[in-house]
Amino acid sequence: MKRLAIFFTAVLVAVNSSAGAETAPATATTAIDEAKIFAEFKAVIPAKAVKTVDELNAKVQDIASGKSKAIIIDIRREAEFDTGHILNSNNIEAENVYTVPKKIADPETEIWVMCRTKHRATYFAGMLYKYGYKNVYLVDGGIVSWVEKGFPLVNKYLGEIKVAKYQNNLAETFQFRENK
């Protein structure tokens, strides 16, 4: 009986607290604000710091051979990263940019940032510049351009993989699928 009373009290509090609250719908102003904020982050990234996937591939080779100590940060979500990523790249999800100073103390460290295309990575790289990092590179085209060039990815289930065609919205029809 006591649990039931607590449950109904919680429901009443939730209903009463949300009764007068209205959420503002997304508007054109919101989109303009986002575009303005994006432009601010993009503006702090020097033009020479925007790199192609070909340049990233050369850097990956330099890291593998010991010629470079650069750090590659893939900021996609864990599921995206686990599906396929560049060998020995690091995964810090975009919203966790605040953790970088705890992981990389030296502001002179060479850091390459990528996401699926370039949008999220622009915010992330811009934030690193705002934190005071001086050698941050933004990968133009992200993982999409990487696979379109035929460069390999890896994952823990298949090892090295090559993507034949990148499809963002692959539609499948399943007869059965468990453990979604």
The pLDDT value recorded for residue 25 is: 61
pLDDT at 22 exceeding the cut of 60:
no
| The pLDDT value given to residue 164 | 85
Instruction: State phi, psi for 48 to the nearest 5 degrees.
Output: -70, -10
pLDDT, tens digit, 9 for 90 and up, residues 37-91: 999 999 999 999 999 999 999 999 999 999 999 999 999 999 999 999 999 999 9
C-alpha to C-alpha distance for 47 and 133, rounded to whole angstroms: 15
Tokens of 23: 């959420």
- Contact (Cβ atoms closer than 8 angstroms) between residue 138 and residue 50: yes
Confidence at residue 18, expressed as pLDDT on a 0 to 100 scale: 40
* Res. 8: pLDDT tops 80: no
pLDDT at 23 over 80: no
* CATH class (in words) of the domain with range 46-161: alpha beta
pLDDT at 30: 80
Confidence tier at 170 by pLDDT (50, 70, 90) = confident
How buried is 80 (Cβ within 10 angstroms: 0-12 exposed, 13-18 middle, 19+ buried)? Answer: middle
Helix (H) or strand (E) holding 74: strand 71-74
Query: In the chain, what are the domain boundaries?
Result: 46-161
For 1, 5, 54, 117, 156, the CA distances from 121, given in Å and listed in that order, are: 53, 49, 17, 8, 24
User: How many Cα atoms are found within 13 Å in the side-chain-facing hemisphere of 109?
Assistant: 18
Separation between Cα atoms, residue 61 and residue 57, nearest integer Å:
6
Q: Residue 105: its pLDDT value, please?
A: 97
pLDDT of residue 4: 35
Q: Mean pLDDT, to the nearest integer, of 154-166?
A: 91
- Per-chain mean pLDDT for the chain: 86
Q: What is the DSSP letter of 152?
A: -
Q: How many CB atoms lie within 10 A of CB 1?
A: 5
Task: Read off the amino acid at residue 12.
Answer: L
Cβ-contact 45, 125 below 8 angstroms:
yes
Question: How far apart are alpha carbons 43 and 7 in whole angstroms?
Answer: 51
